[in-house]
Amino acid sequence: MTGRIEDHGIIGDLHTAALVDRDGTIDWLCLPRFDSAACFASLLGTAKHGFWRIAPIGAGQADRRWYRGDTLILEHVWDTPDGSVKVIDFMPPSSGQHDVVRVVEGLSGRVPMHSELRLRFDYGRSVPWVHRENGLIVGVAGPDSVALHCEVPTYGRALTTHSDFIVGEGDRVSFVLAWGPSHDPPEAPVDAFEALESTEKFWTDWAAQCTYDGPYRDAVMRSLVTLKALTYEPTGGIVAAPTTSLPEGIGGVRNWDYRYCWLRDSAFTLDALIRSGYVDEARAWRDWLIRAIGGDPGDLQIMYGISGERRLQEYEIDWLPGYEGSSPVRVGNAAAEQLQIDVYGEVIDTLARARQHGLPLERHVWALQEKLLQHLERAWTEPDEGIWEIRGPRRHFVHSKVMAWVAADRAVAALQGDGAGGQPDRWKALRATIMDDVLKHGYDADRNTFTQSYGHPALDAALLQIPIVGFLPPDDPRVVGTVDAVEKELCTDSGLVLRYRTEHDVDGLPGDEGAFLACSFWLVEALHLTGRTERARELFEHLLGLRNDLGLLAEEFDPRINRMVGNFPQALSHIPLVTAAYLLSELPGPATGHA
């Protein structure tokens, strides 16, 4: 049976990623890209849908596990009656190939081991033709080919490749699984031990560039490494998560494909990386953005494929039963066709932050922003689907309007600060108009709180962004009242924050969901900004305690069952962890507020 969501670790090569269960099973892997079809899909089904397990014979979950330093090299240790053994899992980045490397290392005694490799292409549907070729075990199905190189004998049984072997103290046995297009001959496998050394150097050197030097360094560094792992290096695109259809409520239908680049999530990721000193990632993302959204600003999508693809058609995979029976399993995401006004603000705000950290305001970049602003000048008055991608009727969401204000505000600051030309008075007027509209229609004076949307009394945790983005100062009574209202109406008994109350039927979907971790971190920031730092720090420490033993977070946490839910690991959970850590550490970050 597949383990809990939080029982997993992630390994990756900056092209794709695999999830490794605590029992030594890789139960999710898409090759060669994040958005490719999975060759191991038992995470969303059963063992028959593909997996690869290496563990001591008869053993269950590992006794201990960790990442090697600030790397993406994952190590599991089992202590058995026969001795202790370690399995080291990683994917070499920038090797030019797509390899999963597993090294079994004997620590003491003599431990009987078993490897069980069940390849199933096309999300568990296609059984490959497996044969031996030039000393490799090769599996082929359609366009995909995977070759296994290992140092111990193998045998086939029930359409699965097995290996039984014993490791003694000091022994090291390597396995390398390499993907290639089926029309090409299999490439020679990488040397596992050289690859281990180079992979450790890559991540150690990358982590050494981090400029954060506060009390939460370990948590911040693990979050940054995770965000880097979600980056598609060839283009600079950043996926929201490496998985699809992990449910927001166990057994429910709120199951979405997150293996794409949301402009919002990518922008937030860029903010976390750039304030930590990773300017190269900022430049790569900005270049990806310009390519992806080039053309008519009216055609701006909320998300794109990792190479900038626009068509992300959503469909269901009926042969996978879903994680713990949570169906349907979806590939693609129909939300790509939604109107979400807030992304204009998030994109322009992030470009402004990048500029503050040393990326110049190049003429073609400003020209793109002007086009976006000109479109937003007309579009901000329209109802939209909002930040949470509702699948019900469009509304005038307050957060969307606030982020439209942010777009105009950052444009004014750019023109005043950099002398890029343009029309600052025009954007000042737009900024003032939007603010007046929000204060008139989005604020409930009787309850002293902003509301989720115009004409509706329900609350939305996205309102916590109001002081964070500088729409109003933190000491404004309307801001304090809104933070208090969110705490009162959207917090669970455990102090975590719901996005909104699903019983208000705003999203057009049945069932409910867990507490949204990003919103909980936003509450940390809002509490601190409104002068309640002790409560903010207590909540932050509580949130850190929800991470699994590897420092990873899913999209949500369900306090009713004390489990993580949603796609994993989730960029939008790790990003505000980093920004909240900076805030609580009183370390500098990009300025907010308007000019």
Residue 368: per-residue pLDDT: 81
- Strands (DSSP E) contained in 422-562 are 443-444, 449-450, 515-516, 556-558
Cα distance between residue 594 and residue 364, in whole Å = 24
Q: Which residues contact 484 (CB under 8 A, 6 or more apart)?
A: 448, 449
* Higher per-residue pLDDT: 71 or 267: 71
Give the Cβ contact number of residue 424 at 10 Å: 16
Cα distance between residue 469 and residue 400, in whole Å = 12
- The stretch 355-380 carries a mean pLDDT of 83
- The stretch 307-321 carries a mean pLDDT of 94
Cα distance between residue 363 and residue 145, in whole Å = 45
Q: Which fold has domain 207-585?
A: Glycosyltransferase (1.50.10)
Residue 421: per-residue pLDDT: 61
pLDDT digits over 180-219, tens only? Answer: 999 998 888 899 999 999 999 999 999 999 999 999 999 9
Q: Does domain 5-185 have CATH number 3.40.50.300?
A: no
- The stretch 39-60 carries a mean pLDDT of 97
Q: How far is CA 9 from the centre of its chain?
A: 13
Residue 417: per-residue pLDDT: 59
* Percentage of residues in the chain having pLDDT higher than 90: 77
Predicted TM-score of the model (pTM) = 0.94
Give the Cβ contact number of residue 293 at 10 Å: 21
Residue 350: per-residue pLDDT: 82
Are 83 and 147 a contacting pair, CB within 8 Å?
no
- The stretch 241-267 carries a mean pLDDT of 92
Q: How far is CA 112 from CA 52, 78, 169, in A?
A: 17, 12, 12
Residues listed for the chain? 595
pLDDT category at 273 given cuts 50, 70, 90 is confident
**Does position 264 have pLDDT exceeding 90, yes or no?**
no
Give the residue ranges of DSSP H helices in 497-594: 517-529, 533-546, 571-584
Lowest-confidence segment of 101-105, 304-308, 416-420, 512-516 by average pLDDT: 416-420
Average pLDDT, the chain: 92
pLDDT digits over 475-494, tens only? Answer: 999 999 999 999 999 999 88
| Domain segments of the chain as ranges | 5-185, 207-585
pLDDT digits over 103-131, tens only? Answer: 999 999 999 999 999 999 999 999 999 99
- Strands (DSSP E) contained in 142-228 are 144-150, 155-157, 160-168, 172-181
- The stretch 391-403 carries a mean pLDDT of 94
Q: How far is CA 410 from the centre of its chain?
A: 26
- The stretch 401-413 carries a mean pLDDT of 94
DSSP assignment, residue 491?
B
Helix axes 533-546, 571-584, angle to 10 degrees: 140
Cα distance between residue 528 and residue 435, in whole Å = 24
